[in-house]
Structure 1
């Protein structure tokens, strides 16, 4: 139990610290804005310098694809469009429960705008209980709890592609409400033909750059990354762009590019000039400032920043799906939006898709409504967890197993004598 009386004594110190930190943050932002102005004047030279010395840099700096002064007003979103989104949740394995297993639940959302179609709002659960599912990761030194999270990421991508394929191949008949019941309408409807190019967007919550893969052994990585890339292949072939939406992003990839004009050395050879002190190097003049803070001072609501190409090393395994990103002022915050190369290389599709994200944020009062609903469909609450294990207990007893129940520790923690 939290003792608020004791906690209140510490609040004054926290407020004083935040006041000092706010003043320091303003100074760091001013330095970043100054370096941005310098970089705009010599952007081509800096990009060439970065490309030449990228293997000697001690930090990950994204490369600008457009002018650093870019601030593009996003177009009005088309009235007729479809949004597809997935998100995942799980029940982690525990030796204190009645059985050692885990569950992955993927929330599925398909929202149709300007069309006489019902939305899809549901979830797809999957239970993993076989030894090859539970213990396969131990050979690589990965705990089952971590492996479960990695598999969830792959499942979210695969389900997203399945939803997109189902939408593309949807039947021509339209379910319409007539009278007191539902029936298939044989009368031509006002929506476009299913094969017509209705704008669609596939969305996921979070980054498309799976940084955690860098730390995995190659054999373990081969179980996670290929299904994701295969799902993206499906989306690309169907012409449905995929975007990763990051709220409150803490990335500094774009700011790291500004460390190049801040470098006091003739060339940015970090390995030679600043060995072992990359985080304390003289070019690091605005840490811990984030990209979002800089672009908040450069963009107006409804605008996007220049497009950047990420330099994360894990992207060397992505093949044709290299990741690009930009920052969008959605009105309530600066959001980072990531896309694969085949979306970034189509400027018209990119900006239309970003306008759909902007519309989603407005409908969701600050956060994309499709992603919020996908989360709500996926999340496993306390009651859901209890019902899951109750159902499992019934099946175990029906199978003739005895002494079914939680550990004494778990049972005791769920109650209190106070």
Structure 2
């Protein structure tokens, strides 16, 4: 019954000082909104990244002439090794003696314009050369048509597979298969259209044209392109063995002496995601710091308001003590009042933070999430702030002398 009465008295006091209560709750709401908003955004980004990288296959690794190149802060840019040549990539594919599949790909250009009749795209289309395993290694699926076969890859036929965005721009409601399109200075027949993958982290796989590997070599805008080798392993259990075999094979192809280090980089398919996850923790700590600083300001404001409330209600406290209320009851009343104010602000702040976080996430091409751990954590923080801020004013109120309190004007 004591708690029920204290809650009623706390609500009466809050109702009697609406403006003051709303301003205090708003400060708490802003602090929690900043904290929950940033953390919700990061959770949504992680989920989007995980989905994007898992679609590329967890049981694979890439051989490149440089690492992922992800840097946070002012770190030095990674220097690339000498390019992986077309001949080196083909030799590796022939020599690797494991159950794994080998896919080879290369970017011919990133700024091509694709035309069909009177329709044309913006000059931001990526042209990539791939072999018969190239689409699968990148998690791409065909919506229409077929993949390249081995003969077409080796002979460099004038054919292509286009992304969904390119197809929609050029062909509207027409069937794109077997149509001839102009890609840069090349005329290519469309043999396939990819399933739309949408955007992930601001990048779109739909604005691309895929051509056979040898064709990409012939039209490449770079004088010394570096090819990417992707090894798709059937089981994660043999991943390390295949990596060891691949390393030894490629060292022989590159003619690296036993005492010299590798002049190429091997990265697992999820290495980029893991690197980003590790670097995102700095942003998480930054978000937590912003929220904590704001909540500290809110708790100081709440403590000040509660001290003013104690002074204003000195006579009321004297009356309650005179009719039998002990110091513990008075202390609970003011603590409950502080916690209720925090919970009011916290509820609004958590809702606002989730809304802001998901709006940013959806704007970046991510998905909507409800961060239950941050919701429960936010309410726990609210209770903690209420107790910390309200303890001193509650203690001061509980120690008031009833006789002096009754005489207070």
Q: TM-score range by the shorter chain?
A: under 0.3
Q: Which structure has the greater CA radius of gyration?
A: 2
Q: Greater relative contact order (Cα 8 A, min sep 6): structure 1 or 2?
A: 2
Greater share of helix = 2
TM-score, normalised with respect to structure 1: 0.22
TM-score, normalised with respect to structure 2: 0.23
